[in-house]
A and B are shown apart, each in its own frame.
Chain A
Amino acid sequence: MTPLAGCLLVSSLLFSVGLAGALTRRSAILVLAGIELMLNAANLNFIAFWRFGAHPEALTGLMFVIFSIAVAAAEAAVGLALILAIYRHARTSDVSEITEMKG
């Protein structure tokens, strides 16, 4: 197996772990953690394609990862603020108990 395929397999495994965490956990904070793991898997893909792909001197994958890390930081801050606001309103951070907006 080539190094690129190894990186892609590790990244897809990490994505699946994050997806399983986001789908199965009841705590809203761990759902956010699963989403962060999926974002990191995408970042690993970008780095792997930049490292082993064509034209690495253009730095495209590296720049994409840097901007993606900045977007993930903003997303985590707003997401945790939303979880705090919901906790203050409903006195729980359990996603299966917050059913006020359920259709």
Chain B
Amino acid sequence: MTASFLILAILTLAGGVAAVTLRRLVHCALALAVSFAGLAALYLNLGAEFAGLAQLLVYVGAIAILIVFAILLTRGSETEDRAAFSPAGFAGAVLALAVFAVLAWAVVTSGAAHSAGLGSAPPSTMREIGFALMQRYVLPLEVIALMLTAAMIGAVIVAVREKASEAGTTAGALPRPEPGRELRTR
């Protein structure tokens, strides 16, 4: 275990702990981005360059920013006077500690703690990853493409404002759209 691995692990875990304990939601989202970036650096440290860069693009670039947008859209950044933790929060923390104890016990007592492991990183060039994606894993790749399309359409349909409620709340403030030019939401 190298020093760089330890530093990156501490950064990742500190970001995760800050993300679940800070009171202001925007600070939580930014700490979450730090944790995701630390994980991407851990992937790079372990020799998985493609996964690390994909993690950086998707998690830090898309998901963390999406969470910030959701916080701003739900006005979660203004509500800091209320309690941030649920009434059963203590039981949840104890349960998480128990889960960690079981997992750590399983890791320490298993053979993974004693096996030597490989000395050098296995080769994972872009060429081999591309061949694997296009040959052996082409069916999962197509399924993922279909699922991403379905998820995008579903997210738009779920999050779009319904026309009836919009007409009810803004009827006095905005002029009604002409009958032929109504926006179709479904």
Could you tell me which A residues sit within 8 Å of B by CB distance? 1-10, 12-21, 23-27, 29-30, 32-34, 36-37, 40, 43-44, 47-48, 50-52, 56-57, 59, 62-63, 65-67, 69-78, 80-85, 87-88, 93-96
CB distance from A36 to the nearest CB of B (A): 7
- Whether B74 and A84, one on each chain, are in contact in the complex, defined by CB atoms closer than 8 angstroms, is yes
A17 in complex: contacting residue of B16, B69, B91, B165, CB < 8 Å: B16
Residue numbers in B under 8 Å from A93 (CB-CB): 74, 76
Inter-chain contact B128/A59, CB cutoff 8 Å: yes
Please indicate the chain B residues that have their CB under 8 angstroms from the CB of A26 in the complex.
82-86
Sample 12 A-B pairs with CB under 8 A, ordered by A number. A10-B42, A13-B100, A19-B95, A23-B96, A43-B51, A44-B43, A51-B48, A51-B121, A52-B115, A63-B133, A74-B148, A82-B158
**Cα–Cα, bound, A94→B122 (Å):** 46
Shortest beta-carbon distance from B44 to chain A in Å? 10
Complex CA gap A61/B70 in Å reads: 32
Min C-beta distance of B78 to chain A, whole Å? 12
With the chains together, A92 CA to B158 CA distance in Å?
Answer: 17
Residues of B within 8 A of A (CB): 1, 5, 9, 12-13, 16-17, 19-20, 25, 28-29, 32, 35-36, 39, 42-43, 46-48, 50-51, 54-55, 58-59, 62-63, 66-67, 69-71, 73-74, 76, 82-93, 95-97, 99-100, 103-104, 107-108, 112-118, 121-124, 128-129, 132-133, 137, 140, 144, 147-148, 151-152, 154-156, 158-159, 161, 165
Once A72-B58, A73-B58 are accepted as A-B contacts, the answer to whether A27 and B84 lie under 8 Å apart by CB is yes
Q: Pick the contact of A77 from B12, B66, B137, B165 — CB < 8 Å?
A: B66
Query: Is there an interface contact between A80 and B122, defined as CB atoms closer than 8 Å?
Result: no
Residues of chain B within 8 A of A57, CB atoms compared: 122-123
Give the interface centre of A51, A66, A76 by most chain B CB atoms within 10 Å.
A66
Distance between Cα atoms of A4 and B151 in the complex (Å)? 35
Residues of chain A within 8 A (CB-CB) of B86 are 23-26, 95-96
Q: Is the interface of B mostly helix, strand, loop or mixed?
A: helix
> Contacting A9 at CB < 8 Å: which of B66, B95, B104?
B104
Residues of A within 8 A of B116 (CB): 2
- Bound CA span A74–B42, Å: 23
Structural contact, B132 and A59, CB atoms closer than 8 A:
yes
Q: A82 to chain B: which residues have CB within 8 Å?
A: 158
